[in-house]
Amino acid sequence: MKFQVLKTAEVKTIGSLTANTKKILFATHGHGQLVEFFGKKLEWIKHPDLFIICPEGLNRFYLKGFNGRVGSTWMTSEFREDDIVDNHLYLNSLLNQCKSVAPHAELHLLGFSQGAQTISRWAFFEKLNYKTICLWGGRQAHDVDWTTYAKKSQTIPFQLRMGDDDEYYGEDKITDWLNQWRSNETAFRFKLYQGKHRLEKVELKTYAKDVLKLNYVNTPIS
């Protein structure tokens, strides 16, 4: 028996959402993270033209044992399909609220680690109209159609970013990953930056300037 219920979610926002907002960035965190801390890193690219929204995964758990630090996750292997449906309903609702305020704002997507799978799956199955999509420190969802990916990528290449000292992705694993994109004739732009499995400050600044096309001349990043 399946029974849907309402659930309260934590969402961190950075910047102001108004009718004049030019860009909206949806950023999904990795396994075991909370938006309270994940969102602080994105404050490094705060800009008056940009509204950042960081939704937290709906499933929380203790990172070790039965007390102490808490993290969240987007899904597990148990009732995976139900979590996917719930995630999409949740993200769609947030997006609809944003668009009701700023209907002409560009939509940009960034998924970190496990969040890369979450946001790529959401973008694919919900057929989102986005300006850019970046998979950072994580692979794309496996249950997508590469033919559709390849077609979409001809107008909007995927942005792929990985740290050269990522503890989860060694050189061989990264090579296999990129070869998968090439063999499926899917356009992408890959950046191997100096850093570990996290959103590095310097690389986030580069992402904001080169991908989001934000000008920080008069609003420098701290």
Tens place of pLDDT for every residue, the chain, 222 residues? 888 888 999 999 999 999 999 999 999 999 999 999 999 999 999 999 999 999 999 999 899 989 999 999 999 999 999 999 999 999 999 999 999 999 999 999 999 999 999 999 999 999 999 999 999 999 999 998 999 989 999 999 899 999 999 999 999 999 999 999 999 999 999 999 999 999 999 999 999 999 999 998 866 555
Q: What is the pLDDT of residue 6?
A: 86
Q: What is the pLDDT of residue 5?
A: 83
Give the CATH fold of the 11-150 domain: Rossmann fold (3.40.50)
Provide the strand spans (E) within 29-148: 50-55, 59-62, 70-73, 106-112, 132-136
Q: What is the pLDDT of residue 217?
A: 81
C-alpha 80/C-alpha 76 separation (Å) is 6
DSSP class of 23: E
C-alpha 211/C-alpha 35 separation (Å) is 22
| Main-chain phi, psi angles of 102, to 5 degrees | -125, 75
The number of C-alpha atoms within 13 Å of 78 and in the hemisphere containing its C-beta is 2
Q: Write down how long the chain is.
A: 222
Q: What is the pLDDT of residue 219?
A: 66
pTM: 0.95
Q: How many other CB atoms are there within 10 angstroms of residue 31's CB atom?
A: 18
The sign of the torsion formed by the CA atoms of 7, 12, 18, 22 equals negative
Q: What is the pLDDT of residue 220?
A: 58
C-alpha 199/C-alpha 38 separation (Å) is 9
